Amino acid sequence: MIRSFHFIGSVGVSPFHKWKKPLPFLFLQSLPKSRAASSPNEFPSFFVQSQSQRCFRAFQMSASRSESNPEADVASASSSAVLPSTVGPKPKIKFCQSCGGPTKLVIPDGEEKMRAVCTLCGRIFYENPKMVVGCLVEHDNKVLLCKRKIQPSYGLWTLPAGFLEIGESAAEGATRETLEEARAEVEVLSPFAQLDIPLIAQSYIIFRAKMKTPDFSPGPESLDCALFPLEDIPFDSLAFSSIFVTLKMYIEDVKAGKLKFHYCTINKRPGASPSDTHAFAVDNHLLS
Amino acid sequence: MIRSFHFIGSVGVSPFHKWKKPLPFLFLQSLPKSRAASSPNEFPSFFVQSQSQRCFRAFQMSASRSESNPEADVASASSSAVLPSTVGPKPKIKFCQSCGGPTKLVIPDGEEKMRAVCTLCGRIFYENPKMVVGCLVEHDNKVLLCKRKIQPSYGLWTLPAGFLEIGESAAEGATRETLEEARAEVEVLSPFAQLDIPLIAQSYIIFRAKMKTPDFSPGPESLDCALFPLEDIPFDSLAFSSIFVTLKMYIEDVKAGKLKFHYCTINKRPGASPSDTHAFAVDNHLLS
């Protein structure tokens, strides 16, 4: 389900402070729809106060996005489409993938966490977060975005990105996804950001890239592809919070005249349900 | 199985050039054992020639390590121990983890790759690379290393690291692993490196970190923990190529007086079997 929602940011001590470790954060609050509707483009007021290698940040923004997908599953995610879960991370392996025997949840010897263990062959199953890899393609001071032709977030704009496949590097995966979604042959230039989203067990790895030739067109998963000047990026119709944050960081770096590598965690606002995309916080923003 | 092996590096066009994309690389060749044995400590001659944001590098080194583990499985890896595979990445899901039905390998509609698909419920299973997260803990111009008490690479030195768990960020996972393996409470300072190893479907994410108090001791998976001055790092008895490369990059950055974020891919030498740890190349080294 795609919903419209709106944020206004503030800097300071907030309920997040107790919810997470006392780290720098971005605090986002819902705005009344009337206000947001009257000012759909009142972004970005995106402030940075550097402190050591961390940043305190605040957004004021209006956005439409979705990260919900009832069909998605933490343990089994499409390689070509980013399909976050609505149910939160928990073991879901009911049968052994090696022998077909039923599993049970136990804490194996020497471990501290509950795992699915086969009752027949004893195999232990581990579930781990997945990497989503993508490119921020630069061309003539513009960036390449794709309008999604698939759920979740059908019709919303994203950077070309998808799940990393077995046998490829993150840079290769990001290049492949860009070719698939935007039919653009690119060369990665530098790592730009890692954005972890623990709630849906995903980690976004975004590279800066350039097109080998200035040719692109929508792939089978895209309705459209376009180059956007930074001031025209459609922040009110981006597909995912990770893309929103990546582009905000990028614009800020470009304005500052220095591109850095960004690491951060995207957390839902305390109390928000896993499928509630109305609020998120950027925690533990670190720079290299 | 732990084996000793030795490398000497060279810079230039090599067979790698055709094997991989024509990207900057590190080319490593086996040395006759006699030569290596006579010069166990003839490292590091680790040269850097910057070109744009990339580096051409060469090692000359002697090392003992292993990344092999016959029991390991790409699809099911321990969260606490790094257990690379010797068999290379390929689908291994024989039974559906949801209904227990047998799977078959097919190319699903709209996809290009073979996937395990349940013959009863039709569920498609995707296998994806795993993230290994760890800390490079700095203290008084030294770094904290752990001597492994588990296979693979029993008795060899490593940075505290392990598989990222569902529900945690990479920084949280790296902090947890450091507490588990070195009983050290640390604070992450900045992202330092991402090292992809496509052959074993792993991506290492390493953070710089500092101890909150200067206390550490071996956890249950470590025989020993120690702070090493950079000139005394035991490069001849490191556990994994990823740790070797990370520490080489770090020393070089420290010498240059500027810490950067490094991205690279670690590839086995062409023709080497998946379990052959005698040779590797660092490809596509990018800096931010």
Name the pLDDT band for A21 (thresholds 50, 70, 90). very low
Q: Which structural domains are found in chain B, ordered by start?
A: 3-69+129-287 (3.90.79.10), 93-126 (2.20.70.10)
A77 Cβ neighbours under 8 A, 6+ residues apart: A83, A130, A163, B126, B128
A186: Cα within 13 Å, side-chain hemisphere: 32
In the predicted model, is pLDDT for residue B271 greater than 80?
A: no
Q: What percent of chain A has pLDDT over 90?
A: 62
For the segment B148-156, the average pLDDT, to the nearest whole number, is 94
**pLDDT, tens only, B70-81:** 223 343 444 444
Nearest alpha-carbon partner for A130 in B84, B165, B89, B261: B165
B chain contacts of residue A111, beta-carbon cutoff 8 Å: 79-80
Query: Which string of b and e fits B59-88 if b means at least 16 CB within 10 Å?
Result: bbbbbbbbbbbeebbbbbbbbbbbbbbbeb
Residue of A nearest to B103 (CA): A97
**pLDDT, tens only, A57-79:** 333 333 333 333 322 334 344 44
B104: Cα within 13 Å, side-chain hemisphere: 7
A chain contacts of residue B220, beta-carbon cutoff 8 Å: 110
Q: Which residue has the higher pLDDT, A45 or A273?
A: A273
In the predicted model, is pLDDT for residue B215 greater than 90?
A: yes
In the predicted model, is pLDDT for residue B31 greater than 70?
A: no
The continuous run of DSSP H or E covering A254 comes out as helix A241-256
pLDDT of residue A270: 72
Residue from the list A131, A198, A259 with its beta carbon closest to the beta carbon of B131: A131
Q: Closest Cα of chain B to A118: distance in Å?
A: 11
Cβ B183 vs Cβ B216: under 8 Å: yes
Whole-number mean pLDDT of chain B? Answer: 75
Q: Closest Cα of chain A to B61: distance in Å?
A: 25
In the predicted model, is pLDDT for residue B279 greater than 50?
A: yes
Name the pLDDT band for B15 (thresholds 50, 70, 90). very low
Q: What is the ipTM of this complex?
A: 0.74
Say whether residue B127 is in contact with chain A using an 8 A CB cutoff: yes
What's the token pair of residue A48? 């940075």
**pLDDT, tens only, A145-194:** 999 999 999 999 999 999 999 999 999 999 999 999 999 999 999 999 99
- CB–CB contact A110 B171 (8 Å): no
Name the pLDDT band for A273 (thresholds 50, 70, 90). low
B chain contacts of residue A261, beta-carbon cutoff 8 Å: 191, 261, 288
The most confident of the ranges A41-45, A220-224, B60-64 is A220-224
Q: Closest Cα of chain B to A41: distance in Å?
A: 31
Q: Closest Cα of chain A to B182: distance in Å?
A: 16
Dihedral of CA atoms A171, A174, A176, A180 in degrees, nearest 10, equals -170
Lowest mean pLDDT among A39-53, B132-146, B154-168: A39-53
Residue of B nearest to A205 (CA): B194
Residue of A nearest to B80 (CA): A111
pLDDT of residue B92: 84
In the predicted model, is pLDDT for residue B65 greater than 70?
A: no
Residue from the list A111, A131, A201 with its beta carbon closest to the beta carbon of B167: A201
**pLDDT, tens only, A93-113:** 999 999 999 999 999 998 888
Phi-psi region of A67 (alpha: psi -120 to 50; beta: other; left: phi over 0): alpha
A chain contacts of residue B78, beta-carbon cutoff 8 Å: 124, 126
Name the pLDDT band for A276 (thresholds 50, 70, 90). low
pLDDT of residue A13: 27
